[in-house]
Amino acid sequence: MYEKDPVKIFVVEDDPAYTKFLKYVLGLNPDYEVEFFTTGKECLNNLHKNPAVVTLDYSLPDMPGEKVLSQIRAHDPNINVIIISAQEKIGTAVDLLKLGAYDYITKDHETKDRVLNSINNARNKSSLIKEIDYLKKEISEKYEFEKSIIGSSVAIKKIFSLLEKACSTNISVSISGETGTGKELVAKAIHYNSKRKNKPFVAVNIAAIPRDLIESELFGHEKGAFTGAITRRIGKFEEAEGGTIFLDEIGEMDPNLQAKLLRVLQEKEITRIGGNQVIKLDVRVLAATHKDLTEEVKEGRFREDLYYRLLGLPIQLPPLRERGNDVILVAKHFLDNFTKENQMPKFKISQEAQQKLLQYPFPGNIRELKSVIELAAVMATEQEIKPQDISFNNSTRIESFLHQEMPMEEYMYRIIRHFLNKYDNNVLEVAKKLNIGKSSLYRYLKEMEAAGI
Ligand X SMILES: Nc1ncnc2c1ncn2[C@@H]1O[C@H](COP(=O)(O)OP(=O)(O)OP(=O)(O)O)[C@@H](O)[C@H]1O
Contact residues for ligand X, defined by CB under 6 A: 149-151, 177, 179-185, 248, 290, 330, 333, 366-367, 370
Residue closest to ligand X, measured at CB: 182
Nearest distance from residue 185's CB to ligand X, in Å?
4
Quick one: 140 or 179, whose CB is closer to ligand X? 179
Quick one: 180 or 312, whose CB is closer to ligand X? 180
Nearest distance from residue 134's CB to ligand X, in Å?
22
Quick one: 197 or 370, whose CB is closer to ligand X? 370
Print the SS3 string covering the chain: CCCCCCEEEEEECCCHHHHHHHHHHHHCCCCEEEEEECCHHHHHHCHHHCCCEEEEECECCCCEHHHHHHHHHHHCCCCEEEEEECCCCHHHHHHHHHCCCCEEEECCCCHHHHHHHHHHHHHHHHHHHHHHHHHHHHHHHHCCHHHHCCCCCHHHHHHHHHHHHHHHCCCCEEEECCCCCCHHHHHHHHHHCCCCCCCCEEEEEHHHCCHHHHHHHHHCECCCCCCCCCCCECCHHHHCCCCEEEEECHHHCCHHHHHHHHHHHHHCEEECECCCCEEECCCEEEEEECCCHHHHHHCCCCCHHHHHHHHEEEEECCCHHHCCCHHHHHHHHHHHHHHHHCCCCCCEECHHHHHHHHHCCCCCHHHHHHHHHHHHHHHCCCCEECHHHCCCCHHHHHHHHHHCCCCHHHHHHHHHHHHHHHCCCCHHHHHHHHCCCHHHHHHHHHHHHHHCC
Nearest distance from residue 394's CB to ligand X, in Å?
19
Nearest distance from residue 288's CB to ligand X, in Å?
6
Nearest distance from residue 373's CB to ligand X, in Å?
11
Quick one: 143 or 307, whose CB is closer to ligand X? 143
Quick one: 157 or 443, whose CB is closer to ligand X? 157
Nearest distance from residue 149's CB to ligand X, in Å?
4
Quick one: 185 or 311, whose CB is closer to ligand X? 185
Nearest distance from residue 309's CB to ligand X, in Å?
21
Quick one: 180 or 361, whose CB is closer to ligand X? 180
